Every structure is written in structure tokens, then in C-alpha cells.
Structure 1
Amino acid sequence: MPRPPRLCSCGAIVPGDQICACQVEKTRERKRRHDQRRPSSRQRGYTREWEKARADYLRYHPVCRMCGDTATVVDHITPHKGDKALFWNHSNWQPLCKPCHDRHKQRQERIKTLLARQS
């Protein structure tokens, strides 16, 4: 059963299964601001050396740890946040497919944001 239309904070009536254009634009702007402050992938350690290590790891661990699909991403279980020892620690790596990786990381970010707001 389709969800009923809703009233957006901008005053527009939006179908229940869609996001208002103003919310899409706000999200894009927030992501743009975040990306401007974020170091490049190379600056964060994702170099050619990482690409080789990642390919080797996926060759030996081809299955997503969460769903069993084909793994395409090597995830750092504990975010390394620039710590080279943690970045290169193979016991901190796990094979994931892209959908599981993106869903997992977004959930972590939401929880982190909620906890920051509560404190």
C-alpha cells in the first residue's frame, strides 16, 4: 500500500515515497561542505600500495562477511582515522560487498551523530 502524501517543511506537498527537492538540495549542500573539509583518498592512505593489498585480500577473501555475496570492498572494521598501524593491520580488515559496506558505514555515522547530540 503506498504511503500517503506529506507536507514538507518548505510547504510543498510531497508523495509519501519521495523526497522533496528542497531536502535533496540540502543533503547535497551538506555533503559538499563535508567533502571540502575531507582530505583526498590519497591523503588518507588509499595509495597504489593499498590498491594492490586490497586486490590480494579480496582474492583470498572473495565473499561478503555480512550477506555472502561477492565482496568488492575491503572495510576497516575499526576506523583507522589516519593511524597507519591500524590502517595496515589485516586483522582490522573485512571483505564486504558495496551495498553492505555503504549500509554499515551509514548506520555507524547515524549512531555517532545521535550519540554526539545526546551528550
Structure 2
Amino acid sequence: MIPAGQRCPTSTARKAEADKRRPSARERGYGTKWDSERAAYLKAHPTCMRCPSPATVVDHIVPHRGDTKLFWDRSNWQPLCRTCHDRWKQSQEKRA
């Protein structure tokens, strides 16, 4: 049994291995152009879609998985706060 507040060592090791194989954010398309577009989008959409917190993440509603057309499709973007992105959105993607 794992004490509350601690992570499973097997799960942590598995995530570390997956992260080693994953391309960097820049390699996945999140470069200077993304930084500029993201800032403009958050300025136009300052509130999280799921709660009243300030939005800090531009999330792809449908994961783009390297599809550049889907990556840049603004109708596929939504503003989220970090908490909603990290908890809700990540749990949605794990289920899919």
C-alpha cells in the first residue's frame, strides 16, 4: 500500500521512461509562433472554460497528435486554467 500523498514508484518510473521517448515541446510544434498565438488567444479569452479562474493554458480540444492543420485550427482551442488542464483534461485523455 502506498501512503497518501506519495506516488507509486512503478508509475513514476513508467512516466519517466515515456517522457524520455517523447519529443520536446519545440519538436511537437510549440515554438515561437505558438508562443505568440497562445498569448493573443489568452488575451482574447482570459477565463477558463471550466471554472471562473484566469486561463493560463491554450488546450487542443481534440488532441492534434502531430497533425499541423488540427494544431493551428483555432476552433480546436479552448482556454483552461492550469488546474483544469492538469486534472480534468489529462484524465479525459487517459480514458480515451
TM-score, with length taken from structure 1: 0.74
Does residue 41 of structure 2 align to residue 57 of structure 1? yes
AA in 1 matched with 2:71: F
Could you tell me how far 1:20 is from its partner in structure 2? 5.7
User: What letter corresponds to residue 52 of structure 1 in structure 2?
Assistant: S
| Inter-partner Cα distance in structure 1 for 2:6 and 2:59 | 32
Q: What letter corresponds to residue 39 of structure 2 in structure 1?
A: A
CA RMSD of aligned residues (A): 1.6
* Higher RCO (CA < 8 A, seq sep 6+): 2
Which runs of structure 1 show a deviation greater than 3 angstroms over 4 or more consecutive aligned residues? Answer: none
1:47-104 CA-partner distances (Å, limit 9, x unpaired): 0100000000000000000002100000000000000000000000000000001112
Aligned to 1:93: 77
> For the residues of structure 2 that align with 1:109 and 1:58, how far apart are their CA atoms?
22
Q: Matched residues in 2 for 1:76 and 1:106: separation?
A: 12
**Where does 1:26-105 land on structure 2 (aligned, <5 Å)?**
26-105=10-89
Match among 106, 111, 116 for residue 90 of structure 2: 106
What letter is aligned with 1:104?
Answer: W
Q: Unmatched 5+ residue regions in structure 1?
A: 1-7, 9-13, 113-119
Residue correspondences, number = 96
Structure 2 residue identity aligned to 1:83: D
CA distance in 2, matches of 1:95, 1:28: 28
In structure 2, what is the Cα distance between the partners aligned to 1:28 and 1:49? 32
Structure with max Cα Rg: 1
TM-score (norm: length of structure 2): 0.91
**Structure 2 alignment gaps of length 5 or more:** none
**Taking structure 1 as reference, are residues 98 and 20 closer, same or farther at Cα in structure 2, changes over 3 Å only?**
closer
Q: State the SS of the aligned residue for 1:74.
A: strand
Identity %: 52
